[in-house]
A and B are shown apart, each in its own frame.
Chain A
Amino acid sequence: NAGVTQTPKFQVLKTGQSMTLQCAQDMNHEYMSWYRQDPGMGLRLIHYSVGAGITDQGEVPNGYNVSRSTTEDFPLRLLSAAPSQTSVYFCASMASGGAHELNTGELFFGEGSRLTVL
């Protein structure tokens, strides 16, 4: 199984540019989320989704948009990149909903997308 796949792994943007970080999972997980991790810091929650068509804000949602049209995909859009958005972005998924015995409470993370905004 591929698990959680993030693309691209590296990206350099200029201030004001927009882009989309892609996240796909093949585990049929209902719950997906995006975190950012700045150098030497912990993970901060940007947005999350508990199922297709449902999204909500995390701790630091400003400057980012998400949508969840399918169970598998959860793209993160940077509307107008700023140097403060230079970070490593992690996508994660978790089984939730449905049969309780399937909900292990374990977040599965992708390998990360390293974004630099100049």
Chain B
Amino acid sequence: LAKTTQPISMDSYEGQEVNITCSHNNIATNDYITWYQQFPSQGPRFIIQGYKTKVTNEVASLFIPADRKSSTLSLPRVSLSDTAVYYCLVGDRLGYGNKLVFGAGTILRVKS
């Protein structure tokens, strides 16, 4: 199982860029890196996914170095509504025989 390690918590202010790093030293060749966001009393929801280099969508960017042993989720210009728990998940996106195990997550607190 590709275990992940993230910072327990981070604080930021509105309008700042936030970078959350995830370490996954034993990532396998077929594994993708996926980030989820979870608000209290809700299930996690997909933010972004990548395999290598950089991926960008309308809400975030994901940076993955060549060795793929870590990844960084970048949230541009955060707002109060971005206060949530962010999870990094590493696994084969086909799901075959794959235990998609979540790490502890990072609590992001955005202040005004």
Query: Hey, which bits of chain A sit against chain B, CB under 8 A?
Result: 4, 30-31, 33, 35, 41-45, 48, 50, 56, 58-59, 88, 90, 92, 94, 96-97, 103-112
Contacts and interface: CB of A to CB of B under 8 A. Distances in A.
A42 B22 CA distance: 15
Contacts of A45: 99-102
B105 A56 contact: no
Interface size band for B: 20 to 34
30 contacts: A4-B43, A30-B95, A31-B95, A33-B100, A35-B102, A42-B104, A42-B105, A43-B44, A43-B102, A44-B101, A45-B99, A45-B102, A48-B95, A48-B99, A50-B97, A56-B97, A58-B101, A59-B101, A92-B43, A94-B95, A94-B100, A97-B94, A103-B93, A105-B32, A106-B49, A107-B36, A107-B100, A109-B43, A109-B44, A111-B42
Contacts of B103: 42
Interface string B82-112: 0001010101011111011111110000000
Interface of B: 32, 34, 36, 41-46, 49, 85, 87, 89, 91, 93-97, 99-105
A95 to B, nearest CB: 9
B99 A103 contact: no
Contacts, number: 76
Contacts of B100: 33, 45, 48, 94, 107
Contacts of A96: 93-96
B32 to A, nearest CB: 5
B43 A111 contact: yes
B101 A112 contact: no
A65 B24 CA distance: 30
Contacts of A108: 46
A105 B99 contact: no
A104 B95 CA distance: 11
B64 to A, nearest CB: 14
Given A45-B102, A105-B34, 5 more contacts: A50-B97, A97-B95, A103-B94, A105-B93, A107-B100
